[in-house]
Amino acid sequence: MQHLSVLILIFSPLIMSAILFTPFFKNNEVRIRRFSKGFASLHFLYSLLFLVFFNPLNQGISYYEEIKFFGTSWIQPLGFKMAFGLDGISLLMVILTSFIFLLALIASKSNIRQKHKFYYSMIFLLQTAVLGVFCARDMFLFFMFWELELVPMYFLIGQWGGGNCKASAMKFVLYTFLGSLSMLLGMLLLYFYNFSTYGTMTADFSAISVSSPEFPIFLQVFISILLLIGFAVKMPIVPLHTWLPDAHTDAPTPVSMILAAILLKMGAFGVIRFNMQLLPEGFQYLVPLLLIFALINIIYTAFVAYAQMDLKKIVAYSSISNMGIVLLGLCTLNLIGFSGAVFQMVAHGIISAGLFMLVGIIYIRTKTREIADLGGLGDVMPRLMGFGIILSLASVGLPLLIGFVGEFLVFLGAFNSPVDELSAPIKIYSVIAISVLVLSAAYILRLLHKTFFANIFEKWSKINDITNHEFVVLFALILAVAFFGVFPMSILDIIQPILANILEIFKI
């Protein structure tokens, strides 16, 4: 389809964030909110159009577009291009982004009480940055959007958060900056190695992805590690995860939803884009190591989640655990596990957004997130309890719900993985990792039990059930949870051709 422009998709939120400062909006809270939501719904519909006209079997990049300034590309002397395009994975992520941002904007009504104009403009800036990351076709453009995302996130956590939010925002920025500088170094080495081998100055993903036999393996591994540090901070992988519980706890609910649902996926997306597509040999070399990290990620954080007393921290640690499953899926190096990993990215995006929404709803009404203070809310909030139970069960991995598909595919893939021949006992690992199903059931059901059932407190007998806004958000998420749980092929059909394509590069 010729008329769909990926540039409009990416930059319209940026324009919207500028429009919010025009005199038309004054300081009229309602008007700002309604326009934002209206815009986000249009954006979501527009992103769906890309899906309608997308051909997954198309080998190259769909909807490719490049911005030129005065006839030259972005940084002409270095061969950097401001080029955007979509493949199956990016398309999926773009639609997820647009969907979650719409829901986050709806959820903002009850959570954001001040500085509305600034808030909504920052959200839209964040949306542009995230979409840019998913659509960029140039390494350094990818990096630019990756860094750009820090600015709105710093303000979103620091300005509208609670608790010790300023420190958490700073911690988030510093951690990510550290990771991204290491990533930058990796990219530069890759870029210059490519330059010295082929003599063309380019940072285009499709131009660089040819792996040459002369590319020394130690350099590939070194660059892979540098890049992985950057993505590991974002994903997060265990030793670099400490920013995440803080950021989640102190961020306002809509921002937590975005953070868990979209930003963590950027890390996994980066691993696929860089480590798997550009540096397959380096990745393959590191798989045994990464498997151990994945295992630690899955099991350790599940235990930590069980020990938490704060609702948001439980969900935050469960996010890390789930991203461990994604990493395990990526390391299986076969189509089943790989598509399971990407599916799990979507599934976790939807479920974690729902769980954060749930916690946020409870927090607004009770002003506490401590498990010990809560109990018996099912009595006064039956609708919320209904949604909560479905989301929790999806998170635990009940069949016919979205959480089941991803986890099942990953573990199935891990069991049949060719990595087994590579000295890594992935079968044993996957047996250990499957125990996470029990652990996640333990901490999620504990959350469910302690908040909705258990002791009935007199002080919570007056609170109201969910409002229409909150109902819409949760209902939309539940719809997605059920639909993709029953028809997982609707997602897998989009991604499997490109994933098979990526796996062909691996000599295994």
Partner 1 sequence: MEFLNNITKIMLPEILLIVFIFIQIILSMFSDTKFYKLSKWLTVLGIFLAISLCSKVSIDPIYYGFKNSIISDNYTIFFKFLILLSSFLIVFLTKKVIMSRRDNAFRFNALLLTVILGSLILVSANDFLTMFIAMETLGFGMFFLIAFEKGHCSKEATLKYLVISAVASAVFLFGVSYMYGITGSVNFSSIYDYFLNNNPTLLYSMAAIFITCGLAFKLGVIPFANWILDVYEGANTSVVTFLSIVPKVAMFGILARLLVFPLSYSFELTFILVVISVATAIWANCLAIRQKNIKRLLACSSSANASYVLFAAALVSVFNLSTVLFYLVAYIFMNIGVFAAVIILESSEFSNKLYEFKNFAYTNPVFTLCFATCIFGLAGFPITAGFISKIYLFSAISRSGLIFLPFLMIMMLTIVVSVYYYLRVVKFMFEKSDNVTSEVIPHKVSSAIVILYCCAAITVILGICPSKIIEICQLMAYNI
As a whole number of Å, the end-to-end CA separation of the chain is 37
In this structure, the dihedral spanned by the alpha carbons of residues 290, 291, 297 and 300, taken in order and rounded to 10 degrees, is -130
Shortest distance (Å) from residue 165 CB to partner 1: 11
Widest Cα–Cα separation across the chain: 74
User: Which of 303, 310, 403, 304 is CA-nearest to residue 352?
Assistant: 403
The nearer residue to partner 1, 79 or 406, going by C-beta atoms, is 79
- Candidate residues 126, 184, 259, 311; the one interacting with partner 1 per rule CB under 8 A: 184
Q: Which of residues 432-491 bind partner 1 (CB under 8 A)?
A: none
The nearer residue to partner 1, 192 or 483, going by C-beta atoms, is 192
C-alpha angle 242-247-248 in degrees, rounded to nearest 5: 105
The nearer residue to partner 1, 51 or 75, going by C-beta atoms, is 75
Residue 35 CA to residue 37 CA, distance in Å, equals 5
CB neighbour list of residue 165: distance below 8 Å, 6 or more residues apart: 157, 158, 159, 250, 251
- Candidate residues 15, 48, 162, 192; the one interacting with partner 1 per rule CB under 8 A: 192
69 binds partner 1 (CB under 8 A): yes
110 binds partner 1 (CB under 8 A): no
- Candidate residues 148, 328, 473, 505; the one interacting with partner 1 per rule CB under 8 A: 148
37 binds partner 1 (CB under 8 A): no
- Candidate residues 25, 177, 215, 415; the one interacting with partner 1 per rule CB under 8 A: 177
Angle between helices 335-366 and 468-486 (to 10 degrees): 160
168 binds partner 1 (CB under 8 A): no
Q: Across-strand partners of 83?
A: 66
Shortest distance (Å) from residue 196 CB to partner 1: 9
Shortest distance (Å) from residue 24 CB to partner 1: 17
Shortest distance (Å) from residue 151 CB to partner 1: 6
Residue 440 CA to residue 179 CA, distance in Å, equals 29
User: Which of 326, 383, 329 is CA-nearest to residue 349?
Assistant: 326
143 binds partner 1 (CB under 8 A): yes
| Stretch of 148-156, 278-286, 363-371, 380-388 contacting partner 1, by CB under 8 A | 148-156
Q: Which of residues 77-96 bind partner 1 (CB under 8 A)?
A: 77-78
Residue 379 — φ and ψ, nearest 5°? -65, -45
411 binds partner 1 (CB under 8 A): no
CB neighbour list of residue 293: distance below 8 Å, 6 or more residues apart: 232, 237, 238, 327
The nearer residue to partner 1, 158 or 488, going by C-beta atoms, is 158
158 binds partner 1 (CB under 8 A): yes
Residue 481 CA to residue 488 CA, distance in Å, equals 10
Residue 412 CA to residue 414 CA, distance in Å, equals 5
45 binds partner 1 (CB under 8 A): no
188 binds partner 1 (CB under 8 A): yes
Q: Which residues bind partner 1 (CB under 8 A)?
A: 69-70, 72-78, 140, 143-145, 147-148, 150-151, 154-155, 158-159, 166, 170, 173-174, 177-178, 181-182, 184-185, 188-189, 191-192
